[in-house]
Chains A and B, each alone.
Chain A
Amino acid sequence: MKIALVGNQNSGKTTLFNLLTGSNQKVGNWPGVTIDRKSGIIKGTDFELIDLPGIYSLSPYTPEEEISRKFLLEENPDLIINIVDATSLERSLYLTTQLLELDTKLLLVLNMSDILLKKGIFIDVEKLKAELQIDIVQISAFRGTGIDELIACLKKQNIKDNPKLKIYPAYVEKTIGEIESKIGLANGRFIAVKLLERDRLFGDLMDESIEQKVKALERFYEMDMEEGIAYFRYEWIEGTIRKALRHVAKSNSVSDKLDKVFLNKYLGIPIFVVIMTLVYLLSVGVVGGTTVEWIDAKVNQFKEVVATGLAERGASDWSISLLTDGVITGVGSVLNFVPQLLMLFLCISILETTGYMSRIAFLLDKLLRRFGLSGKALIPFIVGSGCSVPGVMATRTVEDSKEREMLITLTPFVPCSARLPIISLFAGYFFDKYMGLVTASFYFLAILVIIISAINLKKVLYKDVNSSYVSELPEFRVPDVRYVARDVWEKTWGFVKRAGTVIFFCSVIIWVLLSFSWRFEYGVPIDKSILASIGNLLSWFFYPILGEFSWGATVSAIQGLVAKEQVVSSMSIIAGFSGDVNRELIFAKDGIFGFFTPASAYAFMAFNIFSAPCLAAISAMNKEFGSTKKTLRAVAYQTWLAWVIATIIHLLGLVIGGIS
C-alpha cells in the first residue's frame, strides 16, 4: 500500500513522518527539482509512506505544490494522510477541501490536540467527522501520543472512501458536474474545479464550451472563479467550524508576550544582533576555536602513525605520501569543520523549531527587499560566515526558486572561517598592526559584493524575481528534542559524506599533479611537477593581480579549491618549508614569493576570498541548483568578479603607492 503524507508547513508533518517510519527512511529527489523526496516504511506494516512537501494549497504557482499535485494525480497513492494543526483548523482545512475532491481515500490526523485546551479551543471530533464524512485520528506528534492508534487504524484498512463533499453553491456544483462528465477522467471533480479556476496546468483540457460555462459563473458571482473557488471553500469551512469548534477567548498567549520583546520596536533588532553574534561565537569561536587545533593535531598524529607503520612494512615512498599528504591531509581538512558545523546546525535547528527564524525574516525583510531578496536571505549569509556548505544548504528555507538560485550564487561570497588563515598570513606580514582593520575590510567588501551582485543578477539573470513575502508567523514553541537531534545528525552526516567523497577524489588528483612530472617521475622537486607547469601556463591570469608571473601563487590559488586554508599550506610547501607556516620565511625578499607588495598581497587575498569557493561548497551549490550548467555559470561569475575586484585593488594600490 502506498500512502501520501500531506500537510501545511509547521503542521508537525516531519515529526509524524519520523514517528511512523523510525529509521527506515530513504531520501531522494523529486524529478526536475531539488526538493527532497522522503519515503519510508511504516513501523509494523509493509505500507510505504511518502512525505510530500509542506504546502498550503494545490495551486499551480510553486514547485512544491506542483510536485504534490503531480504525485497525487499521477502516482495514485492508495491513501492520503492529511495532517492538520488543530490549533489553526480553519486555515488548515482549506487544503483538506482540495484533497476532498480527489478519488483517493483520505484520513485526517488532528495534531497538537494536547495544546488545544491551553489555547481555549474545544473541538467536537464526532461532529467534525460527521461534517467531513472521513475518519479522523487525534495525535500529538510532539508528545508521541496517538501514533499507535493511527497505525492500528491504517492496518484495519477499512478507511472510508473519499466522500467528495459538495461544498459549493448549487449553481457551481451543477457546472462542476457537467464538466466532470464531459471530460470523463479519473479525479474528475478535482480537475473540473481546476478548470473553473483556469488552472494553467490543465490548459489543454480547456475548450470553448467550458470557457462559456466559467464565464457565466463569473458574471453571476461578479468575481473570477480563482477567487470564487477560494471564497466558497472558506465559506464552507467557516460553517463547518461553527458547528464543531468552540473558542473560549483567552488573554494574550505566551507567544504574544514573547513577541512583545523579540519583535519590539526598539529591542527587536538589537536582540537579533545579540542572538546571531552568540550563534557565531558559539560555533565558530568557542567550539571551532578549541576543536580545530585539537583535530588538526590528531590528524597529524594519525598521519605519523600511518607513515611510520607503512614504512616499517616496506611500503613505497609514493604510496605513503599518497595516503598521508594526499588523502589524510585532504579528508582531515574536512573533519576540522565537523564540530563547529554540528554546533551551527544545532543553533539553526533550534532557531527554526522555536519559530524565531520566521521572525528574522519578519524583522529584516524591508532591508533586503531593495536587493530583490526577502528577509529569509539573511539566514544563509549568517550560516555561511562559518562555512559555505551549510550556508548554501540553508538557502532551502527560501520559498521562491529564483530567489533561492540568486542566494546560492551569493552565499559563498561571505568569507567563511577557512578563509581567515589566508588573511592572517598576508595581513599579518604586510599590514601587521592593521590586521584587524584589514580583516574587517573584507567583511565590508563582502557586503558590498553581495549587494552589487544581487542588483546585477536581478537585472540580468533573474528579471522576473518578484520576491513576495506572504508568510505564516508560527507561534513560539518549545523545540522537540528528538526532532532537533535527528535534524542536526542528518545535516552533519550529509556534509561529511558529500564533502568527504569530493575532497577525497580531489586531494588524490592534486597530490598526483603535485608529486609527478609530465614523464611520470615520482618525487620531482615541486617546480618540475605537473602542477607547476599548469601554474606556469595559467600564471598570466594572475598577472594583473600580482604584477608578476608566479606559478607558485597560481598553484596555491588552485589548491584553494580543495579547501581555502590550503592556499596557506601550499604556499608554505612551495616556498620550501613544509610544516609550520612562517610568514618571514615565506615572503623573504630573495624567495619565490619575494615579489609580493602590500598592494598585490591585498589583491591576492581579495581574489582568494571572493573567487570560486572550495569544491565541497561547489558540490553543495550543484546539489541545490540541481543543474551543472547553473553551477558552472555561478562559479564562473564568482571567479570573474573576484578577478575584477582584485585587479582594481592592485591598480589602486599601484596608483596610491606611486603618489606617496
Chain B
Amino acid sequence: MLLELRGKVKAGRICRMSDLGKGQRGRVLNIKVDNPALRRRLFDMGITRGVEFEIKKISPLGDPVDIALRGYELCLRKSSMEQIEVEVLA
C-alpha cells in the first residue's frame, strides 16, 4: 500500500501529492482534477505547475492536510491531493 510509504517517498520520485509525508517538500507537475470548480479553485489558490510546497500539518484524523506554498498555508483533502502529480524534492 502506498499509505505505508508515507513520509518515505524518496526525493526525485514522481508520485501523487497525497503520498508525501509531513515535512516533505515537492513540486507540482500536473493537476488532473475532474471537478471544474475544484480545479479552478486550486489554480486560484496558487496550485499551478512548477510551484513548490511543503506538507506542514496533518489533521489529527489523518485528513485534511495543510500545505505551505506561496507564503501562506492551504488546507486540502487527500482526495483532491490524489489528483495532483508531484515531484518529490526532499
- Residue ranges of A at the interface with B (Cβ–Cβ < 8 Å): 56-57, 59, 61-62, 87-91, 94, 223, 226-227, 230-231, 234, 247, 256, 259, 263-266, 268-269, 358, 361-367, 369, 466, 468-475
Contact = CB atoms under 8 A, between A and B. Distances in A.
Contacts of B45: 56, 91, 470, 472
A367 B72 contact: no
A88 B64 contact: no
B63 to A, nearest CB: 5
Contacts of B43: 226-227, 230-231
B49 interface: yes
B2 interface: no
A262 to B, nearest CB: 10
Contacts of B48: 227, 230-231, 234
B61 A90 contact: no
B74 A263 contact: no
Main secondary structure of the interface of A (DSSP, over half): helix
B10 interface: no
- How many interface residues does chain B have, given as a range? 35 or more
Given A234-B70, A468-B35, 17 more contacts: A59-B41, A61-B36, A88-B72, A227-B39, A230-B43, A231-B49, A234-B48, A234-B51, A268-B59, A268-B60, A269-B60, A365-B61, A365-B77, A466-B35, A469-B64, A470-B75, A471-B74
Interface in B4-36: 31, 35-36
Given A234-B46, A468-B35, A362 B59 contact: yes
Given A90-B70, A259-B57, A468 B37 contact: yes
A433 B56 CA distance: 51
B10 to A, nearest CB: 25
A226 B45 CA distance: 13
Nearest to B42: A470
A523 to B, nearest CB: 62
A366 B59 contact: yes
Main secondary structure of the interface of B (DSSP, over half): mixed
A263 B56 CA distance: 11
A361 B77 CA distance: 12
Interface of B: 31, 35-46, 48-51, 56-64, 66, 70-77, 80
Contacts of B59: 263, 268, 362-363, 365-366
Contacts of B71: 87-91, 247
Contacts of A263: 57, 59-60, 66
A199 to B, nearest CB: 10
Contacts of A256: 56
Nearest to A223: B49
Contacts of B49: 223, 227, 231
6 contacts: A227-B43, A231-B50, A234-B51, A466-B35, A470-B42, A473-B57
A468 B76 CA distance: 9
A469 B60 contact: no
Given A227-B48, A230-B48, A472-B73, A264 B60 contact: yes
A362 B64 contact: yes
A230 to B, nearest CB: 4
Nearest to A95: B44
Q: Of residues B38, B49, B50, B72, which shows the largest number of chain A Cβ atoms within 10 Å of its Cβ?
A: B72
A473 B66 contact: yes
Contacts of B44: 56-57, 59, 94, 230
A264 B58 CA distance: 9
5 nearest A-B pairs in the assembled complex, by CB-CB distance: A230-B43, A57-B44, A88-B72, A268-B60, A90-B70
A466 B72 contact: no
B80 to A, nearest CB: 7
Contacts of A61: 36-37, 40-41
